[in-house]
Amino acid sequence: MTMERNSVDISNIPELVALAEQVQQTQESQVLTRGQEPLAVLEPLTDLAPATQTDTNPNAWLEPLIGAGRSQGPGDISANKKKYLADAYYGKRDSHDQS
């Protein structure tokens, strides 16, 4: 998911421009410090693509988990997903339901 970030123009700070170009070329993050105190992390951008529709879904992180579970027996929803959907759509008919 792409996060919205504030941007700062560093065109007039040659040392920072050089450091940012180094991070971009090496694809290695750098920790910016003042003395021994870490202040910020400068990291390469890997994805500048605009946010997709799934990025706006707060539960999008769950999508890869759908159908990933496994269990044994007739309750195995992952393996029997289509059967259960058909039963729900067409109505499950047991022999005692028919007259």
pLDDT digits (tens, 9 = 90+) for 23-65: 999 989 999 999 999 889 999 887 655 555 545 777 777 777 7
Rg (the chain; Cα; Å): 26
Q: How many CA atoms lie within 13 A of 67 on its CB side?
A: 6
Cα–Cα dist 30/40, whole Å:
9
Residue 68 binned pLDDT confidence (cut-offs 50, 70, 90): low
Check residue 51 and give its pLDDT.
Answer: 53
Residue 88 binned pLDDT confidence (cut-offs 50, 70, 90): confident
Q: Average pLDDT for residues 69-79, to the nearest whole number?
A: 62
Domain map (residue ranges) of the chain: 9-45, 52-90
